[in-house]
Structure 1
């Protein structure tokens, strides 16, 4: 592995040369121009940040196409999960018909305490993602960390909350955060 495989100038050339074909590839999978562009931009951000740790064993084009296609497929899979769980939100009773105020308040208090127990960086990343609805690349840029670090913290936060049994379903986190921050 090289220390820095691409200089800034070389990277800019790679970006200019490959952005459009990669965006077309992503679009062929996700069928949304904005999402396709986001996927490709996130790929280039992540590649620039981690290029010194990625051993390219072939042409950049092959690596980039494979990565963008996988990210596009992952996006579709996440979207299908969201679509699958969307009816849960539609069938939930309005807030005033939900569990009693005391139970709801106790639940939110326990969940808030659980979030407060997380390490500072994990809590910050988790809230930026779940409450502020920021994309991984945006969080990484704002906190000056890699996208993989963002993913690690978010996954660890959900595992922590699930293991601590502070809520019956992971969806409850989104309901809680929506009520607090919206």
Structure 2
């Protein structure tokens, strides 16, 4: 068990000895060399910053492997959340690429207005997740709320956005089509 923080020399030796195997472990999860290297570097930075609070209960290799694997899995989870956000925004956006700039601008103004109309806590949680790309657990910790509350706010925000930003566009399209058929049948 390490009772005192590692010296800089000891830390450098740990880094040199373990970086490559840990990067290979991270790569086996994230499937991207650059991301794997970043995950391992972030692990070592965090370890250096918090080493005085960590009590190793076994070899450093086991601790580091577990931490890097968890960080890699967290990266994958964040990517999935980010992909989900992008898909949901794409579903909200006008899907006709031939739409004029004015139509797209109108849509994004509606979207922005809808976000502004959300209750303050929901808006904050939603923006921290969608725009800030923060993990649910980080949002919960920062706002002193539960992860389930974060999930609830994000789900409610997307429902609200669909109703406030996307639905009015469809209603206007349906009214236009209805008006067209009404004129056509006369």
Same fold (TM over 0.5): yes
Whether 2:87 is the aligned partner of 1:98: answer no
Give runs of aligned pairs for residues 146-165 of structure 1, distance below 5 A.
Answer: 152-153=141-142
Shift in alpha-carbon separation, 1:48–1:154, aligned structure 2, 3 A: farther
Distance in 2, matches of 1:151 and 1:11, equals 32
Check conservation: 1:162, 1:170, Cα contact below 8 A.
no
TM-score, normalising length from structure 2? 0.57
Deviations 1:143-172 (A, max 9, x none): xxxxx989943786x99988889x723997
The gaps in structure 2 that reach 5 residues or longer are 95-103, 162-186
Give runs of aligned pairs for residues 111-122 of structure 1, distance below 5 A.
Answer: 114=120
Q: CA RMSD in A?
A: 4.2
Counterpart secondary structure, 1:57: coil
Distance in 2, matches of 1:171 and 1:24, equals 43
Counterpart secondary structure, 1:58: coil
TM-score, normalising length from structure 1? 0.58
Check conservation: 2:25, 2:65, Cα contact below 8 A.
yes
Distance in 2, matches of 1:150 and 1:9, equals 36
The gaps in structure 1 that reach 5 residues or longer are 119-125, 137-147, 173-182
Match of 2:36? 36
Whether 2:82 is the aligned partner of 1:73: answer no
Specify the structure having the higher radius of gyration (Cα): 2
Shift in alpha-carbon separation, 1:6–1:81, aligned structure 2, 3 A: same
Check conservation: 1:30, 1:75, Cα contact below 8 A.
yes
Aligned residues: 146
Shift in alpha-carbon separation, 1:155–1:86, aligned structure 2, 3 A: farther
Match of 1:64? 64
